[in-house]
Every structure is written in C-alpha cells, then in structure tokens.
Amino acid sequence: MPSCPALFIGAVASGQGKTTIAAALARAHRRRGLRVRVFKTGPDFLDPTILERASGAPVDSLDLWMVGESACRQRLAEAAREADLIIVEGMMGLFDGTPSGADLASRFGLPVAAVVDAQAMAQTFGAIALGLARFDPSLDFHGVFANRVGSDYHAQLLKDALPDDVRWLGHVPGSEDISLPERHLGLHAAIEIDDLDARIDRAADALAATALAQLPPPVDFDAPPEPPLPRLLDGLHVAVARDAAFSFVYPANLRLLSALGARVTEFSPLADDALPAATDAVYLPGGYPELHAPALARNTRTSSAIHAHAAAGKPLFAECGGMLYLLDTLTDSAGQTTPMLGLLPGRATLSKRLAALGMQSIAGVHGEMRGHTFHYSHVETPLAPALIARYAQSDAPGEAIYRVGTIVASYLHGYWPSNPDFIAALFHGHAI
C-alpha cells in the first residue's frame, strides 16, 4: 500500500489565499529537493496552472462527485508511489458544497490545515479556528495558518486567541509582492503573471520557517489497478486550441483522448495557426475569448481553417468560451461587439454578474457525463437544445447542448473520464 506525507489546504471561504499558500508550500519543499504532487479540489482551470508552476508537476482535479471516489483514490495512490509530499488545495470554504472539501479530506484521511485571512481581525481568529477544528469530528485537523498578517504583534494576538488544542501553524504577512492577481473568473492563469515565480518564491521564503512547512504525517493510499480503456479513438487526429484565449482544459481530458487512441495536437487561434495537417476533429475549450476578441476576429487563417473543417462535415466540439467563438458576435462587459466565426447562429454578451455556477451532468445515449458550469456571459440563439444538462444536487435544468451537423457546443465543461463512451461518440461525430 503506497504511503506518502499529505496535507489538505482548506480555508474559511474563497479569497483567503489558499492557492498562494499551497503554491508556496509546494515550492518550499521542491527547493529542498522533494518530489511534490499537488491536486485541486473541485472544478478549476486557473489555480492548477499556478500550482503546476510551483510544484513542477501536472495538477489534477479531485472531486467525489465529478471525478468519483474510485478515480480520486487512483490518482492519490499513483501520486503516493512517486512523490515525497502530496498537497490537496480545497475549494471555497472547507465545508462548502455537497460534497465539500472536508468530505474529500475525511474520506481519504488527509490532515487539514486551514488558511484564514486575518488582516481585519484579532481574537475572533480563535473563534473561527475553533469552529473549523470542531465542526466535523471525523476530520484530522492539523492546525490553522494566518494569512495577510500585519505585524509580529498582530500574529501574537492571533496565536494567543487559539484554544490550547488547536495548533498554530504560523503566518505570512500581507504583501502585494506575494498575492496573486484576480479577475472575474478567478485568479489569472500562470502564463499571464510575468513575475509569478518571484511571487511564489517570496511566499515560500515567508513560510519556510513556520510549522506549516514541516512535513505532515504520512497517509496510506490504496487503490486497485485500473483496467485499460478500449481504443475507441484509435487513429483519430484531434486538434486542440490552446493559448491565452482557450486555456480551460482538464489535463485528465487530454490524457483520456490519448488513452482512447487519439493523436492530440495543439494549435493557437491567437497566433492565427491553421489546423494541423490531417485533422479529424477539433476541440475548442473554454477560456477568455472576450479578452482577445479583436485578435481572434482578425485572424483569418484560423477562422478559414475552422470553417473549412466544419464545411467538410468533420466533428467540432466547443465548450463555454469555445462556444462563444463559434457564434455570430461577442459583446464584452464594456459594450464592445466583435464578430466571431458565425458557425452557430446567435450572440453572446458578457455581464458583470455571474450567470451560472455549479456541478451539472448530461445524460445521452451513452449514459451520463459529469462536469460543471461557470460563466458571466449570456447567449441568445434560435437553436433548440439537442440535450439539456441537470444540476447535480437539485436536478433542475442546466446548460443547453446545441448541435448543428457535426458541431456540438455548450457552456458545460465536461469531465470526460466520467464517460469515455460519450466522448468517443462526440469526436467521431456520432449521436451523443
């Protein structure tokens, strides 16, 4: 049974600095020569890019519903066989969501370190720490860590407020040199932060002498071997858009394509790339097309290639931002409207308010595929949905899945390993 020191990084809420602390911890141990594997709880495309930069290893998602308990156990066991430390960053607050990060930590016996943004509190820090430590007795509560602390005196007030049985793991100061920039969908992606490594290194320096930087206790991870997947996409060449406009991709999704036998090649619409030679299917993932709309509209080499691909009746799958790229127009939050590819009738408009958020699944002829939705835009289209997703917890109707010939598009971000048959049918252009 593989065993490895492991730690779950949770928090009171979103915005407490979990990613900063998890990245700093990964970098601190990596600088010591340890092999570090980091995971991210729940659906997220942005934090993993920063955690991958910090750890030097790919970052996969863990979620008891979307990924599934068995697959989560497999990923952790695989990591434990090769790593000296496993770090799992939570999502939102420790107990938020069904299932929550606490549910995941409890299921796999992960010690929990809670990050609290303490910049606007003193003794109340103790009350918050007490609640986190006692709310779920099944948790192995490792301790509490204070972020954005104003001074050594402030740190002492926080530490003195803790109950005797809640461990103080240390603190880092509030500093613009450490914090990570944010926008409407969360943190900036790693490739967009010019001084990211310097920020991570400064944060790692700040926590290097804290109790949090000590190796946590080992955890046993056991999982039966996974059976090999059938080669349902054997010989298929899939072109995947990958750049700053189309970057929301689960690493597990691309690994699945390869495991099913597909050859995967990346191209960049922002660089005005043509499609790779002999492309059989195209995948346009989500991202930030609204931030790069003028460049996308100018890049006729890419647009001509995608139009020709669609005209030839070859499969094209687009998720969220990829779907916006296929529409007639895209209007950003400042009211600027830009023409897009026009392969799907309709228009998208960015809002300053969240339009949809949550875990959803889609049921088709090949069963259920799970995933999530998170977007600030609205789409107006005359198209009738081919399928409609359902929210995981309420069974309320969710995102529409549109189909025009061999073009399939939706706001839904699918976690493809949840149903390889669904994905194989989609990239072959078959009924889903």
HEC assignment per residue over 284-303: ECECCHHHCHHHHHHCHHHH
Q: Burial letters for 297-327: b for 16+ Cβ neighbours within 10 Å, e otherwise?
A: bebeebbebbeebbeeebbbbbbbbbbbbbb
CA 165 to chain centroid: 34
- The arrangement of strands across the sheet holding 329-331 comes to 337-339, 329-331, 347-350, 377-380
Contact 310, 293 (CB under 8 A): no
CA 293 to chain centroid: 23
Q: What are 145's two structure tokens? A: 């860590």
**Confidence at residue 55, expressed as pLDDT on a 0 to 100 scale:** 96
Q: Number of helices (H) and strands (E), helices first, in the chain?
A: 12, 24
**Confidence at residue 125, expressed as pLDDT on a 0 to 100 scale:** 97
Dist. CA 64–CA 397, nearest whole Å: 22
Residue 347 forms beta bridges with which residues?
329, 380
Q: What are 369's two structure tokens? A: 């595929």
367-382 pLDDT tens trace: 999 999 999 999 999 9
**Confidence at residue 197, expressed as pLDDT on a 0 to 100 scale:** 86
**Confidence at residue 46, expressed as pLDDT on a 0 to 100 scale:** 85
Cis, peptide link before residue 99, omega less than 30° from 0: yes
8-state DSSP, 180: -
**3-class secondary-structure state, position 422:** helix
- For the chain, list the domains and their CATH numbers: 3-220 (3.40.50.300), 237-428 (3.40.50.880)
**Confidence at residue 393, expressed as pLDDT on a 0 to 100 scale:** 85
8-state DSSP, 3: E
Dist. CA 330–CA 255, nearest whole Å: 31
pTM of the model: 0.93
Q: What's the residue count for the chain? A: 432
**Confidence at residue 190, expressed as pLDDT on a 0 to 100 scale:** 60
Dist. CA 327–CA 337, nearest whole Å: 12
**Confidence at residue 381, expressed as pLDDT on a 0 to 100 scale:** 98
Cβ-in-10-Å burial (0-12, 13-18, 19+) of 170 comes to buried
Q: Which pairing describes strands 218-220 and 3-11: parallel, antiparallel, or unpaired?
A: antiparallel
Where do the DSSP E strands lie in 137-185?
141-149, 168-173, 182-183
**CA angle (107 as vertex; 105, 112 as ends), nearest 5:** 20
**Confidence at residue 132, expressed as pLDDT on a 0 to 100 scale:** 97
**Confidence at residue 195, expressed as pLDDT on a 0 to 100 scale:** 79
CA nearest 268: which of 347, 325, 224? Answer: 325
**Confidence at residue 182, expressed as pLDDT on a 0 to 100 scale:** 60
**Confidence at residue 1, expressed as pLDDT on a 0 to 100 scale:** 79
**CA angle (320 as vertex; 316, 325 as ends), nearest 5:** 60
Kindly state the helix (H) or strand (E) to which residue 407 belongs, with its residue range. Answer: strand 407-410
Catalytic residues: 320
**3-class secondary-structure state, position 56:** coil
* Residues in the chain, pLDDT under 70: 177-191, 193
Phi and psi angles of residue 238, each rounded to the nearest 5 degrees, phi first:
-110, 125
69-82 and 101-108 helices, crossing angle to 10° = 60
**Confidence at residue 178, expressed as pLDDT on a 0 to 100 scale:** 66
Q: Burial letters for 65-97: b for 16+ Cβ neighbours within 10 Å, e otherwise?
A: bbbbbebbbbbbbbbbeebbbbbbbbbbbbbbb
3-state DSSP: the chain helix, strand, coil percent, rounded to 5? 30, 30, 40
Q: What are 389's two structure tokens? A: 């997703």
Dist. CA 389–CA 398, nearest whole Å: 5
Q: Burial letters for 377-391: b for 16+ Cβ neighbours within 10 Å, e otherwise?
A: bebebeeeebbebbb
Dist. CA 392–CA 377, nearest whole Å: 21
**CA angle (309 as vertex; 306, 313 as ends), nearest 5:** 140
